[in-house]
Structure 1
Amino acid sequence: MQSEAFPVRRRTVLCAAATLVMARGVSWAGTAGQADPLPSWNEGAGKQAILDFVARVTREGGPDFVPAARRIAAFDNDGTLWAENPVYFQVAFALDQVAALAPERPEWRDTPPFKEVIEAGPRAAAAIGEKGLLQVVAATHAGMTTDAFAAAVENWLRTAHHPRFGRSYDSLVYQPMLDLLGYLRANGFKTFIVSGGGVEFMRVFAERTYGIPPEQVVGSSCVTKFETRPDGTLVLVKEAKVEFIDDGPGKPSGINRFIGRRPILAFGNSDGDHQMLQWTAAGTGPRLLGLVHHTDAEREYAYDRQSYVGRLDKALDEAERRGWIVVDMRRDWGTVFPVEPAAERR
């Protein structure tokens, strides 16, 4: 069980921070009919359930056949497709932005919570709490154009490294989930991200990292304002006002609003994904629901019911009661992260 989580609600912070991750040098492509379409998965009930489900819904003439247009798969991002500890990566980005912008904002050196962040860096997250984090997010994101924001995230990904693994954040994606995404697409599925994370953050990296184009990313968003600059340049400017929270009960609404079809497959890892799984399960015809259970403290992290980051409690109970797939990371995954590209090694 994680012991250093800080008490910040996922929905509140992630709707305000717009973040991204652009994994370099990882493989997500799948090939239909290959000997083992999920090579990073250990043999077990979870892997077999996925293989059986895909075989059933793609078998023309079979009782569970689903036309390709209805093969919609929805995936949470944080904790499902890539890591989320010790803080959500969007939060890490926002905290690092304080240091990057501090020379232009000298008043921050004497103003909480920026003073604490400048002095302690990411370790200040626990001390400044949710209110402080929201101040940090608003101050570092509001007023930026969407293009400037994307450029800032790109630069952060090139320079920032995870405090435990010493790797770039965009290399901490889950290879087994990359295998799964590729396998599904090779079998006619359309894969979507449906996450509490900032949609503009995720759209920067999703296609390079997961093979999911920006129009198939659903996330939380803040209001943007269309402006014409004095030189005639047209921009969208981020405002410190929440437009949509794509977490918890917001996920079914987001699916309906932005996708327009109920998924037949959905994967998450926390109670923030509970309603998405319930909504998917409530449809007619064949369904596959899955949860990633973080049980591997050695290769990644171990946490669930008491964690403030990625809390998995009610959704886990329902998964066990209803027979949804619960992926035990330590038992079911032969590897967790992709082999680190040589250029990333330190």
Structure 2
Amino acid sequence: MTTSADFAAEVQALIAHRIRQDVQGMHAYAVQDSKGMVKLDAMENPFSLPPDLQAALGQRLGALALNRYPDGRVNDLRAALAQYVGMPAGHDIMLGNGSDELISLLSMACDVPAQPGAARPVVLAPTPGFVMYAMSAQLQGLDFVGVPLTEDFALDVHAMVQAIAEKQPAIVYLAYPNNPTANLWDADAMATVIAAARQAGSIVAVDEAYQPFSSRTYMDVIRANPAAHPHVVLMRTLSKFGLAGVRLGYMTGPAALIAQVDKVRPPYNISVLNYECALFALEHQDAFAVQAQEICAQRAILLGALRAMSGVKAWDSDANMVLVRFPGADDAAQKIFDGLKARGVLVKNISKMHPLLARCLRLTVGTAEENARLIQALQETL
């Protein structure tokens, strides 16, 4: 008879023999328990649909043929998104189960086997940045090279250009705005880095996950001069638009390039519920635009309150989050995080993510009531 100890030992032996060593050393993506908390840790749109739209969407979803695989209706969504984003002629669009899947698919498509004695393909991005760029590269067998930002979280243009020339990366990611720093890169810096990537034969992925709250979009630059961007794809998501639970990302770029990446996309990766929710949202985009305007207004109020606190540094933001540094010892961010959590407010402690983020927390912009609770809890904790 197999004992529980024998069973456990056999499972561990199987893991040691069959699971990649780097995967064994990784940590699964953890979602913080937010039950009963003011949830300001994941950059979600805090507003739900108005009741009339909830009823209309529910009726529409209830009529779907859930017993059938997704059909050509998904192409209606591709067309609607292309119109929404103002996609240039000669470009195409592909869909993903959130931006995370698109990042993974791009890495998969660019995992060109190395010649004997040659280095593995490289993914390059400024750091600190979105963690999935590095994780996706690792899981697909590519090397990740992070180029540190300046102390003020600007692109280090010289270091980026030098790293691109030296590493000849397959992919260069430029989050615009960046996560977790919430800032937009300087226009001239973007142009210089993107030109350097073109010279190196690199694909540039401009990640505009937070575009609904941003003062600029790189799509305007692409539309103004498509000929200068044969190597640039632009990614967005409907998560920050207001549909984080729907998991719908999209990527546009030169049609021939998108067609190649689309070959590694799993069949039926977008469910009928995904695409019908997204179509519904685009049909009612004015309601979501009002929500985005309110979030931007609340962001300004939150920044003003943070900057009125002694010793607290809050950076400008073009996203629905604010990066904040607190005075004190190295564990200052953890102490503030714990104090906020004890008072029912959940934020993100990013102080250990990168040396440049020492003593920093990332605060999602919530509703007026949620932000008021955050400020009160922060004042009490401080």
Q: What is the TM-score with the length of structure 2 in the denominator?
A: 0.29
> Which has more radius of gyration?
2
Q: What is the TM-score with the length of structure 1 in the denominator?
A: 0.31
